[in-house]
Amino acid sequence: LGARLSVDIAETTEVIHSNNLLAKIPGTERPDEYVFYSAHWDHVGKARTPNAEGDDIFNGAWDNASGTAGLIEMARAFKAGPAPKRTVVFLHVTAEEQGLLGSEAYAADPVYPLAKTAADINIDMLPFTPATRDVAVFGVGKSELEDILGRFAAVQGRVVTGDGYPEEGFYYRSDHFNFAAGGVPALMPWTGRDFVEGGIEAGKPYYEGAMAKYYHKLTDEWRVDYDFTAALQNLDLLYRLGLTVADRESWPAWKPTAEFNAIRDRTADQRR
């Protein structure tokens, strides 16, 4: 074309300091071995332009105030229940929405060794739906954790399924990934789509509509008509999963085809 373009670009860098928050319930028999529950407490901040109602705050009720509340309730359940044999840690991480930065920082400089961490159970966006026949899991087929989860799901009359959208790569887009990348078996449940009343025909459009309307939108606010039925189903499963991992002698394992196996194997001598 014989055309030339000259451009000046001004860049502004802003440093923001934030914090992860940890709490723990010490194990009674193996206090130097750990089971983690994680959830991110941040969201995406303020919109550059307010909406028609003048609202410019991304409140993040679903993503991830729901998971943060779930993590607090999980801690209360462990405090009220039988003392775990392994230490159970409740990790609220920051800056997930900026690229998993809080969990990345934790995994790079962990308070408790990743080699001695049995599992991470991540709670990012609890399902606000009616009862489901399924509990979806990101990255289905990766670890033994989902097998344990499946046994408890069966008691509820439910089955473990994939998240239904593998092309989205959701397993690599929340805080459990940084634990997995450090070798720790990690699981994140998701919204089921097979509704007890209405089946997939009702659940799939319900889920896809909610994602389109609320995910990272100004509309993600607290509403009095939220249905917590499936959220309570999932929290019950995750409590039982974590307590089982905390109390048994063996360590959860990656499936043979999981890409994180070799990382975990490097520290096997620390778990004998």
Q: Which residue is it, tokens 């994180």? A: 260
CA 5 to chain CA centroid, nearest Å: 46
Asked if pLDDT for residue 159 goes beyond 90, the answer is: yes
- For residues 78 and 272, what is the distance between their CA atoms, to the nearest angstrom? 26
pTM of the model: 0.94
Widest CA span in the chain = 76
CA–CA distance, 211 with 129 (Å, rounded to integer): 12
C-alpha to C-alpha distance for 251 and 30, rounded to whole angstroms:
12
Tens digit of each residue's pLDDT (9 = 90 or more) over 111-123: 999 999 999 999 9
At residue 272, the pLDDT reads 80
Would you identify the CATH topology of the domain 21-271?
Aminopeptidase (3.40.630)
User: How far from each other are the two terminal CA atoms of the chain, in whole angstroms?
Assistant: 68
Residue 66 has pLDDT above 80, yes or no: yes
DSSP state of 249: S
d(CA 7, CA 49): 26
179: tokens are 């634990």
User: Residue 78 pLDDT more than 90?
Assistant: yes
To the nearest 10°, the Cα dihedral for 84, 161, 265, 20? -60
Q: Where are the domains of the chain?
A: 21-271
Residue 1: pLDDT over 80: no
pLDDT tens across 99-114, in order? 999 999 999 999 999 9
Task: Calculate the average pLDDT of the chain.
Answer: 96
Per-residue model confidence as pLDDT tens digits over 34-43? 999 999 999 9
Look at residue 174 in the predicted model and tell me its pLDDT.
97
pLDDT value of residue 14: 87
Q: Given CA atoms 121, 126, 129, 131 in this order, what sign does their dihedral have?
A: positive
CB atoms under 10 Å from CB of 131, counted, come to 17
Instruction: Quickly tell me which residue has 């940084």 as its tokens.
Output: 178
Q: Where are the beta strands (DSSP E) in 156-261?
A: 159-162, 186-187, 189-190
Average pLDDT over residues 162-181: 94
Tell me which residue has tokens 């620390």. 270
Closest to 242 in 3D by CA, of 96, 105, 37: 37
pLDDT reported for residue 140: 92
